[in-house]
Amino acid sequence: MRVLGIEGTAWAASAAVYDTETGDVSITSEAYQPDSGGLHPREAAEHMREAIPIVVEDALTGTDSIDAVAFSRGPGLGPCLRIAGTAARALALSLDVPLVGVNHMLAHAEIGRHRSGFDSPVCLNASGANAHVLCFRNGRYRVLGETMDTGIGNALDKFTRHVDWSHPGGPKIERAARDGEYTELPYVVTGMDFSFSGIMSAAKEAVDDGTRVEDVCCALQETTFAMLAEVAERALSLTSTTELVLGGGVGQNQRLQAMLGEMCEARGVEFFAPESRFLRDNAGMIAVLGAKMVRAGDTIAVADSRVDSGFRPDQVPVTWRARTETHSRASSGEGELQGAEAVVEIDGERVRKRRLPKSYRHPALDERLRRERVVLEARLTSDARRQGVPTPLVRDVDVREAQLTVERVGDADLRDVLDSKTGESHVRAVAGHLATLHEAGIAHGDPTTRNVRVGASGDDRTYLIDFGLGHYTGDVEDHAMDLHVFEQSLAGTATDPEPLRRGFEEGYAETGTEEVLERLRAIEGRGRYQ
């Protein structure tokens, strides 16, 4: 089978032919290059209108027949998507072959899985307008974490426009960073979500205040890429997955690949980054995923093929993969366990948690984060306990070694009992605990289903643990982010997350404020995929 893929989400007008028999993928692309500044939607659409016929004709040269046409249905810029979609419909009709509408971000994830041969990896997508971490569970890709404001590529481009560098900015930052020294910038991770806008503002101010641009570029890479690597590691830990793939144009950056490789090697995880032609926006990944969808019978009628500029990856029923999962989980027993950030040693009724140095992070950044987080975890764990929220009793804090010794609580992580009869009651308890914390001006910061302990012998309480990303705040946004993080972890670890999510929000409504739930809806509705 030969599938023609057409990509037209924003910058790249691209066409490709994928031959399923030989595995060959031929790609032709014409990227839009603005004269100055960033992307201009009208100019990008004009480029797409001119370039799509050229790249399609080139891709089809020497091809005897086409068995299906696949196109990027979204997310992306509406005018660009419509031009590419119109071309795909016309070709499918003229050739009398099936038409396939592909989610652009899932194509980034699937091309890494396809090229690596991995079974069910976590995927970190780092592209211009998007940044998120995905896992596959029960017939869909689940968004475990994502940017709360702008994509990583767009964020970097905003900085380079500030210093009058031409587009694309990412490669220029990478080159300048080689001659730079690390300088401190804000580091913003909440659970498995992240934010780049404050970092970029600080970077611009640093340059304006006289800091060498090379030093700021070094700091930008070290800070933003460490955030991406940390979030990917949290996702691997939450899902107990042993495979990671990288997607998106920013994934071409060698420093980012090196960070992810070091992180995975330390965890015993396999890591794969596709070659550059499959990382930047390209029609090859559209054709490859399109072929899988055709084989699964997942085609669309021309009348039903409207594009969707906000098309989220978790909206797509995954028809081309088996629903089974291969990774396993084990509850905490005696001995040493590895979490996302720390090694946990369980010795009877005591738990010693030591935050490990991360070789992928710059040493100064790593030391700052480890010390800050162990202090915060000790302080917030104790303060939450004083508010009546079940937490471990803190027995000792060693800031120098970034080590915390606490009471052992529970005999299972919440993620391991979500599908049991008691799962919903524990989820409702978490909602009540978070409402109590928020009333006291505390945000947990990382309330995932792995940071909740349940079910010690003769004790049905639900404990919150690991406050290392928490902080004191009365901000409704921070409180709503706690709910958002927990619901994302439900989606990634529960067999049927929707009833649990409803129960969680009902539980929060009983003692929390409606304003926080309203802000949660606003967070979910932000246009991060446009």
Helix (H/G/I), strand (E/B), else coil: 286: helix
Rounded Cα gap, residues 354 and 415, in angstroms: 22
Beta strands in 82-195 (DSSP E): 99-103, 122-126, 131-137, 140-146, 189-190, 193-194
Say which of 281, 298, 446, 478 is annotated catalytic.
Answer: 446
- Smallest CA-to-CA distance from 174 within 199, 152, 194 is with 152
| DSSP secondary structure letters along 480-521 | HHHHHHHHHHHHHH-SSHHHHHHHHHHHHHHHS-HHHHHHHH
Structure tokens at 360: 């992928």
Amino acid at 168: P
Rounded Cα gap, residues 85 and 73, in angstroms: 7
Structure tokens at 527: 């246009």
Peptide bond into 168 cis (omega under 30): yes
Rounded Cα gap, residues 73 and 305, in angstroms: 8
Helix (H/G/I), strand (E/B), else coil: 127: coil
Cβ 56 vs Cβ 291: under 8 Å:
no
446 is catalytic: yes
Beta strands in 164-303 (DSSP E): 189-190, 193-194, 243-247, 270-272
Residues with a known catalytic role: 446
